[in-house]
């Protein structure tokens, strides 16, 4: 890898680390378009999967006093059937149609959250937690971007910023560990992937360091707006990918 490519990968993941450190998600959404300037989608995606172990582990430790196991159990239990449903539907329904619908849904949530009054707390939070986990698993299976569904639930359930970041971080850690293990056993982590991982991992670490004081100072209202924007940009990313791949 030449120095120009090193710098581009480093810059992309520095930006991703900053956004993720503040909002709890969104690292790949901001980093991937920049990293793809100098690498292919398969390599960039595998690098993202690897980073999704240390990144949420660090944030999970940072916000370890705020996560709630009851929230995580519901989300993770719902994720399994949701992912299986996504895998089952992919051969039956055009992936493009699924991605367009999901992209529009996430963008609509952003607009609704930014423009409308926030509703009261959810009724039957256990039911909605399981449903949100299933939706996240479904989106992860068809697009690789399941995090925004958890962000949507966090906003609907009125989680505060620290509970949101703690829960989302540990959710992703639980999701990423078996995925990376399976990819490793399948022999996906070749020389180019590990070589490209170095600047991305360094950039993500720098981004997290930069985000730390910002994450502490950001107000609750500003955090919720940022989270909604990150969710909306996730939807835009899914929608754009679907339209460009058609």
Residue 205, both tokens: 């670490």
DSSP 9-68: HHHHHHHHHHHHHHHSS-HHHHHHHHHTTTS-HHHHHHHHHHHTTHHHHHHHHHTTTT--
Give me the pLDDT at residue 123, please: 57
- The mean pLDDT value for 157-178 works out to 88
Alpha-carbon distance 213 to 65, whole Å?
Answer: 18
pLDDT category of residue 20 using cuts at 50, 70 and 90: very high
Domain ranges of the chain: 3-245
Alpha-carbon distance 126 to 105, whole Å?
Answer: 22
SS3 assignment, position 174: helix
Contacts of 89 (CB under 8 A, 6+ apart): 98, 142
pLDDT category of residue 148 using cuts at 50, 70 and 90: confident
Residue 110 is classified by DSSP as: H
Nearest to 235 by CA among 14, 56, 26: 26
Do 63 and 213 contact (CB within 8 A), yes or no?
no
Identify the weakest region by mean pLDDT among 138-147, 200-209, 232-241: 138-147
Q: How many residues does the chain have?
A: 246
pLDDT digits (tens, 9 = 90+) for 58-69: 999 999 999 888
pTM given for the model:
0.81
Q: Above 70 in pLDDT, residue 145?
A: no
Give me the pLDDT at residue 210, please: 96
Alpha-carbon distance 158 to 123, whole Å?
Answer: 12
- The mean pLDDT value for 27-54 works out to 87
pLDDT digits (tens, 9 = 90+) for 117-129: 555 555 556 777 7
């Amino acid at each position: 890898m030449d120095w120009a490519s090193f710098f581009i990968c480093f810059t992309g993941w520095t930006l991703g680390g900053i956004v993720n450190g503040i909002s709890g998600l969104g690292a790949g959404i901001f980093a991937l378009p920049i990293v793809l300037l100098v690498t292919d989608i398969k390599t960039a995606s595998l690098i993202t999967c690897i980073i999704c172990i240390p990144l949420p582990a660090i944030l999970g430790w940072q916000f370890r006093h705020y996560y709630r196991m009851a929230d995580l159990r519901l989300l993770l239990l719902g994720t399994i059937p949701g992912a299986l449903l996504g895998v089952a539907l992919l051969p039956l329904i055009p992936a493009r149609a699924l991605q367009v619908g999901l992209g529009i849904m996430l963008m609509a949530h952003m607009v609704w959250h930014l423009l409308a009054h926030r509703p009261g707390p959810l009724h039957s939070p256990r039911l909605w937690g399981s449903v949100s986990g299933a939706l996240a698993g479904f989106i992860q299976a068809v697009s690789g971007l399941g995090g925004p569904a958890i962000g949507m639930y966090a906003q609907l359930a009125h989680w505060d910023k620290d509970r949101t970041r703690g829960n989302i971080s540990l959710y992703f850690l639980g999701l990423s560990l078996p995925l990376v293990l399976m990819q490793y056993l399948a022999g996906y982590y070749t020389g180019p992937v590990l070589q490209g991982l170095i600047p991305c991992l360094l950039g993500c670490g720098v981004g997290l360091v930069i985000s730390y004081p910002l994450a502490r100072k950001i107000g609750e209202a500003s955090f919720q707006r940022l989270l909604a924007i990150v969710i909306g940009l996730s939807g835009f990313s899914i929608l754009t990918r679907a339209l460009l791949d058609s």
